[in-house]
A and B are shown apart, each in its own frame.
Chain A
Amino acid sequence: EDQVTQSPEALRLQEGESSSLNCSYTVSGLRGLFWYRQDPGKGPEFLFTLYSAGEEKEKERLKATLTKKESFLHITAPKPEDSATYLCAVRLFSGGYNKLIFGAGTRLAVHP
């Protein structure tokens, strides 16, 4: 069964304390791994797409990386405004290439 697992479920950081979020996947064929940010009561906001192992993308304090089995979202020197739930989603190669399968997310809280 295709699965996406995110860890940790929740993470509390002090402002400036760098860390990484993990997204591991077991799917039959990957056609893209997506990172989204979700604020409470809002829709997922697109951050990054990664297509192949070894690929990296950066945006401000965020950097996403991809291996054959997992992706990391590295947060460097986070600020309180980075507090949100970070969602990982995969799109499959075989059959359902239109749909995204989401992980449960990591709730990040950054305290001043």
Chain B
Amino acid sequence: EPEVTQTPSHQVTQMGQEVILRCVPISNHLYFYWYRQILGQKVEFLVSFYNNEISEKSEIFDDQFSVERPDGSNFTLKIRSTKLEDSAMYFCASSTKATSGDSSTDTQYFGPGTRLTVL
């Protein structure tokens, strides 16, 4: 069964450094998302991406963050100048459509996550 994959599974970085989190969405999906989950808290939406541009972003997704689809398979989240409070699990998700009323096409499937630890 197709699945979303993410690398690395765990990333440790020093405060102020830049990190790139990588995701390979399900191959026929067109919409891509990043969410994060701080330990013990809710899963929070960061950004959605379609047709090589951001379609929506949350207040969390400020100038420190950027996303890119550098090729036909990868989807990346870059965090510049990391802060202690960026420590969290980061999940990539993908779907065929944004909304269709059909769960076979508009369900968001999540990857296993990257645990980011900022020291």
Interface set of A (CB-CB < 8 Å, partner B) = 31-32, 34, 36, 41-46, 48-49, 51, 87, 89, 91, 96-105
Contact with A along B80-119 (1 / 0, CB 8 A): 0000000001010000001101010011111111010000
The contact sample of 15 A-B pairs, CB cut-off 8 A, is A32-B99, A41-B89, A41-B115, A42-B113, A43-B110, A43-B111, A43-B112, A46-B109, A49-B107, A89-B43, A96-B45, A96-B56, A100-B108, A102-B43, A104-B42
B55: interface (CB < 8 Å): yes
B76: interface (CB < 8 Å): no
Q: Which residues of A sit under 8 angstroms from B43, Cβ to Cβ?
A: 44, 87, 89, 100, 102
B58: interface (CB < 8 Å): yes
Report the separation of the CA atoms of residues A96 and B55 in the bound assembly, to the nearest whole angstrom. 9
A98 near B110 with CB under 8 A, answer: no
Q: Which residues of A sit under 8 angstroms from B56, Cβ to Cβ?
A: 96, 98-99
* Interface size of B as a range: 20 to 34
Contact with A along B36-54 (1 / 0, CB 8 A): 0000011111001010000
Q: Identify which of A51, A87, A96, A105 contacts B101 (C-beta below 8 A).
A: A51
Going nearest first, the 5 A-B pairs with the smallest beta carbon separation are: A49-B103, A98-B48, A43-B110, A99-B45, A102-B43
A111 nearest CB across to chain B (Å): 23
Instruction: Evaluate whether A98 and B33 lie within 8 angstroms (CB atoms) in the complex, with A32-B99, A44-B91, A51-B101 already known.
Output: yes
B107 near A34 with CB under 8 A, answer: yes
A45 near B110 with CB under 8 A, answer: yes
Instruction: Evaluate whether A44 and B110 lie within 8 angstroms (CB atoms) in the complex, with A98-B55, A98-B56, A100-B45 already known.
Output: yes
